[in-house]
Amino acid sequence: MPTQPLRVGGRYELTRPISTGGMGQVWQGYDTVLDREIAVKLIRSDAARTAEETKEFAARFRREARVTARIEHSGVPAVFDADVDSEHDRLYLVMQLVRGVPLGDVIAEEGALAVEAAVSVAAQICAVLSYAHAVPVIHRDLKPGNVMIADDGSVKVLDFGIAAVLRTDVTRLTATGSRLGTCAYMPPEQVLGGGVSPASDLYSLGCLLHQLCTGERVFDGESDYVLMDQHVRTAPVPVRAIRPDIPANLERLILHLLAKNPEDRPANAQDVHDRLAPFLPAPAPAGADAPQVPGGLPDPARPYRRPLAPRPRPASGPAAGPAPTKVLPPFHGVADLPTPPRTMISAEELAEVEEHAQSLLEEERYAQAVGLLDEAVEGAAARFGDGDDRVVELRLRRAFALGLGGDLRRALPEFDRLAAGFAAADGPDDDRALACRQQAAICRAQLGESTAALREFQSVLSRVLPLAGERDPMALDLRLEIGRLMLFTGRIGEAEECLVPLQADLHAEYGPDDPATRDAVNLLDRIGRTGT
C-alpha cells in the first residue's frame, strides 16, 4: 500500500524533492483543490531562536511574498500561496512549477557560451529586473542557482525576496563561522553591509554575464573572506583578456556593471538591455526551430529569434493553427476620458474608514488598506477640502501604508508633498515635516537614489541636532542611515567617522543587545573596526 504523501497547508501534496539548499527544500507538489502541479518551497526558520523571533520571521516572510507577488512578468514564477503550516511548524511558498535546466548546470556543462546565447540569457534577466525594480523588489541573491532556462528557452528568475527573508543578503556569520548565503556574485556595498538597491542586482548580473562569456567567475578567492575583499578592492579582469572574440562594447558593458560604486553602474536594467540588444539574434519568426537533441540544453536565444512564436509543432502529425487574434479598439488614456465627480464622504463614514484601514494595517494587508484610503482621501477632500486636518491625516496614513507595502514609488512623492505642507504651515522644524522628510529619504535610499537620500538624511539631521541632541531617537536613526549609505557608496573613511561615535551612543542609550546597536557593530566589523 503506497504511503500517504506529506501535505502542507491542508491541500498541497509534496510528491518528490527537487533540491535542497540553504533556504530549505524545494518540492514538486500537487494542489488538490485546483488539480495542478506546483512547486512548494519549505522555508527553514532555524535563525529564529525564540517565539518572538519566530513570529517576526513569519511576518517578514509573508511581507516579502506579498511584495514579490506584485512582479507581473512571465520570467518570474507566479506566487500562488504563502503561509505557515502549523502542523509541521514550517513556512511554505507555493509557486508555478518551472520545467527546465538551472543556469548553474548549463555553465558547469558548457563553460563559456556563444555570445548570442550568453547575451540572450542576460537580456531576459534584464527584462525581469526592469519589472521587479519598478515595484521595487531587489533580488539580493542573483546567481546561476537562481536562474532557470525553461524548455522553451525562456529564462526564469527564482527566489525573489528569499534572501531578505532569510537575511542571507548580509555577510553575517553563523555560530560555526560559516557565512550564510553566497558571495561569489555579491556587490561591494552588500559585502560592506551598506544595504542594497537596484544597482546591486546589476552588479550581480555583471558577474553572471562575465561568467557566461568566459566560463570563469569574476573573482575566485580561496575563501569567502578573500572573495569578499576582491569584490570590494580588486579590479575585474576584462573578458577580452580571457576570450578575445568577445565584442569590445560588450566588454565595456560588463566592466560598467562591475563598477565598485553603485552610482557608477548603468542607470537601470532598461539601459543594460538596450546595450545588449545589438548582440541579440535577429527575429526570424517564420524560421523553423532546430531540433533539440534528447537531453540537450534549452536554447535561450529562441525567444529573440522567434518572439511571440506559437508552441513548436509535435514531431509527427499536423498541428492546429493558432486561434485568430481578436482586434481590440484603440486604447484611450485616462486623459482622454471624462473625470468623474468626486464622491463625498460624511464624518461618520470617515470614522468607519479610519477604523477599517487601521485594522487592515495591523493585519499587514497593506495593498487593501491603500485602496480603501485612496477612496477615502478623495471623498474626504470633496467634503471637507484638501487642506482639512482630517484629509491630511488620511494622506499621511496612506503614505505610511504605501511604504510598509513596498510601493515606494508612490510613497515617495506623497511624503515629499506632506513634508512641504507641514513645513509651510508650521515651519521647517515641525516634527511631522521632519518625519516625512526622513521617510522620503528612506524611500530614495531603497530606490537607489543614494546621493539624494544621503543629502536629505544629513539635512534632516542638521535640524534635529540643535533641537534634541545627538542621542535623540530620531537623531540616532538618522546617523545610522547616514553611516550605512556612506558604506553603500564606498566612502569607508567617512562611514567609520560616523559609525564609531554612533555605536558608543547606541550602546549607552539602548544597550548592547538592541538591534540598532548590533547593526552599528556589524557595520563597523565590515570595515575592520570592532565596536566597543
pLDDT of amino acid 170:
44
Which of 35, 81, 105, 141 is catalytic? The answer is 141
Share of the chain above pLDDT 70, in %: 82
Calculate the dihedral angle through the C-alpha atoms of 9, 15, 16, 17, rounding to the nearest 10 degrees: 0
Query: Among 2-11, 187-196, 269-278, 367-376, whose mean pLDDT is lowest?
Result: 2-11
Label residues 367-391 b or e (16+ Cβ within 10 Å = b): bbbbebbeebbbbbbebbeeeeebb
Tell which wins on pLDDT, 363 or 273: 273
pLDDT at 331 over 50: no
pLDDT value of residue 310: 57
Question: To which residue does cell 481590440 refer?
Answer: 328
Angle between helices 408-426 and 389-404 (to 10 degrees): 150
* Rounded (10°) CA dihedral 246, 249, 254, 256: 160
124: Cβ–Cβ under 8 A, 6 or more apart, which residues?
Answer: 75, 154, 155, 300, 303
Q: Which domains does the chain have, with CATH numbers?
A: 7-95 (3.30.200.20), 100-172+181-281+299-305 (1.10.510.10), 347-526 (1.25.40.10)
Cα dihedral 23, 28, 29, 35 sign: positive
Beta bridge partners of 194: none
Residue indicated by cell numbers 520571521: 57
The gap between the terminal CA atoms of the chain, to the nearest Å, is 63
3-state secondary structure of 93: strand
What pTM does this model have? 0.79
State phi, psi for 18 to the nearest 5 degrees. -100, -45
Lowest mean pLDDT of 1-15, 198-212, 440-454, name the range.
1-15
pLDDT of residue 177: 33
Full strand arrangement of the beta sheet holding 12-21: 7-8, 12-21, 24-31, 36-43, 90-95, 79-85
In the predicted model, is pLDDT for residue 266 greater than 90?
A: yes
Q: Is the separation of the CB atoms in 381 and 374 below 8 Å?
A: no
Active-site residue flag, 141 = yes
